[in-house]
Amino acid sequence: MEVIQVLGGRPVTGEVLVEGAKNSALKLMAATIAAPGVTTLKNVPDISDVHVMGKVLKRLGAKIEVVNKHELRIDTTDVDKWETPYELVAQMRASTAVLGPLISRFGKAVVAMPGGCNIGERKIDMHILGLEALGVEFKVDHGNIHASTPNGLHGETVTLAFASVGATENLIMASVRARGVTVIDNAAREPEIVDLANMLNEMGADIRGAGTPVVEIHGVGELHPVTHTVVGDRIEAGTFIATGALCGAPITVRGFDPLHLGLVLRKYAQMGISIERGEREVTVWRDRPLVPTDIQTLPFPGFPTDMQAQTMTLLSLAKGSCIITENVFENRFMLASELRRMGADITIEGHHAIVHGVDGLSGAQVKSPDLRGGAALVMAGLVADGYTTIGDIHHIRRGYEDFVEKLQALGADVRYNTVEVEEAPLGWDL
Ligand code: UD1
């Protein structure tokens, strides 16, 4: 089994450049379906989730050329299928982002129903209800969702029960060519949604208010392909900022907009972390103990759930106790039991984690519970006593390009390794 091995206690300092945002790149790739022709996406991260989305697009009939690792030329001229099979949706739930653009281009789509995932049930009922209001008819059979538009698509006001990122994006992508005006009320406001709306507007769409709770989409005729640069990854940036805060020596993180991490930086300042902001970079360091601070995750501009795990690692070493409340996903505290193996004192009560700071962590064998939890365990290893071995690292590869290499460049003692795993026998093997 491939693992990441970390020896704690090395100074970690220097500069790191973040890639384009995973959560934006995936939706921009899907959106190219709505504009037949060759769209060029720059600053695309080289991560496994992006590779899966590439497979989804190819399955639909698109051609993809990768130039210099980070530029994708996606030719959607000959897309002639509208089915996304379960094997791909099961690998990555964000594959469901093709629903909106397929409906926009073909008026129909077949997408496998996503199953549960390790951070909760993650339903898509809001996507369905919103699309139904625009005239989409759904039928579910044999595990697939079949969407059709017998009477075309028409604008409507849709109020989301929760500011869901995925539902907002699918509704925007489906409605760009609908008749009339679509209004999404209680829309999600994440920077990745603004990036998507910007690209669609460059393609000829008329989307107003992205980044606010009310998004208005005025239907247009055809969309045309464009060249677009993916917004910097605020979560990758936040992960390295949390690493600087944890290890103490200065780390400068470049390639993103610090305004996209507004609340994280404010909370981190309350935790006793020193922060210097530039226009496209942040430098962090820490020369005093971590101050316990309560955190509540919420949709943007609230504290991002995607920064909850990294912050839990930090708070597990604070001088005192605090509560982390997870309001976005129902099951996103699996990191806690792995951190406990390293000596952390964390108790889970429903959607609250009660964190009592400890004086130090000790290296142990642990498993990545999910993408952000995996990164948070590597971080914990950087300050733990001795060696930490992190398994299930495919989770980390989903969203971080060269995570180990970037930490090595900062001076960390971290490497890939393989370990023997004894398979449990079927039946007795005495
Ligand atoms: C996206 C991000 C993910 C991030 C999350 C919240 C991508 C690829 N992923 O996920 O990294 O953590 O936003 O910022 O962009 N829900 C429903 N019904 C729905 C839709 C959502 O009940 O139809 C629930 C989900 O189960 C979850 C919550 O709403 O509990 C938030 O989900 P949502 O904002 O849609 O997240 P994703 O788009 O899946």
HEC assignment per residue over 28-55: HHHHHHHCCCEEEEECCCCCHHHHHHHH
Nearest CA to ligand 1 atom 5: 165
Cβ(154)–Cβ(174) below 8 Å: no
| Token pair for 52 | 């899966």
**Close Cβ partners of 123 (under 8 Å, ≥ 6 residues apart):** none
> pLDDT truncated to tens, each residue of the chain (430 aa)?
999 999 999 999 999 999 999 999 999 999 999 999 999 999 999 999 999 999 999 999 999 999 999 999 999 999 999 999 889 988 898 999 999 999 999 999 999 988 656 656 678 899 999 999 999 999 989 889 999 999 999 999 999 999 999 999 999 999 999 999 999 999 999 999 999 999 999 999 999 999 999 999 999 999 999 999 999 999 999 999 999 999 999 999 999 999 999 999 999 999 999 999 999 999 999 999 999 999 999 999 999 999 999 999 999 999 999 999 999 998 899 999 999 999 999 999 999 999 999 999 999 999 999 999 999 999 999 999 999 999 999 999 999 999 999 999 999 999 999 998 877 778 887 7
Q: Of all protein residues, whose CA lies closest to atom 38 belonging to ligand 1? A: 166
Q: How far apart are CA 400 and CA 395, in angstroms?
A: 9
pTM over 0.85: yes
Q: How far is the CA of 167 from the centre of ligand 1 (A)?
A: 8
Distance from Cα 235 to the centre of ligand 1, integer Å = 15
Q: Is the distance from the beta carbon of residue 81 to the nearest atom of ligand 1 less than 6 Å? A: no
User: In angstroms, rounded to a whole number, what is the distance separating the alpha carbons of residues 286 and 272?
Assistant: 7
CA distance 134 to 149: 9
- Judge contact between 203 and 225, C-beta under 8 A: yes
Confidence at residue 425, expressed as pLDDT on a 0 to 100 scale? 76
User: For the chain, percent helix, then strand, then coil, each to nearest 5?
Assistant: 35, 25, 40
Q: Give distance in angstroms: CA of 274 to centre of ligand 1.
A: 31
Instruction: State the Cα–Cα distance between residues 59 and 84, nearest whole angstrom.
Output: 7
Q: What's the pLDDT score for residue 116?
A: 59
Read off the tokens for 384.
């733990």
CA distances from 384 to 344, 364, 365 (A): 11, 9, 12
The answer to whether the CB of 116 is under 6 A from ligand 1 is no
What is d(CA 339, CA 332) in angstroms, rounded to the nearest whole number?
A: 14
Q: Is the CB of 196 under 6 A from ligand 1?
A: no
Report pLDDT for 154: 97
The CA-based dihedral angle spanning residues 326, 395, 269, 380, taken in that order and rounded to the nearest 10 degrees: 110
416 lines ligand 1 (CB under 6 A): no
Amino acid 236: pLDDT:
98
Q: Are 117 and 78 in contact (CB under 8 A)?
A: no
- Taking Cα atoms as reference points, which of 195, 215, 257 lies closest to residue 30? 195
Q: Residues 17, 88, 117, 354: which is the catalytic one?
A: 117
Tokens of 84: 């996304």
322 catalytic per annotation: no
**Ligand 1 centre distance from Cα of residue 426 (Å):** 38
Both tokens of 144, joined, read: 């697939």
Can you read off the two tokens belonging to residue 159? 């109020």
Helix residue ranges, H only, 248-307? 262-270
Of ligand 1's atoms, which has the minimum distance to the CA of residue 299?
14
Q: How far apart are CA 4 and CA 13, in angstroms?
A: 20
Type of residue at 411: G
Q: Relative to the CA of 192, which ligand 1 atom is closest?
A: 15
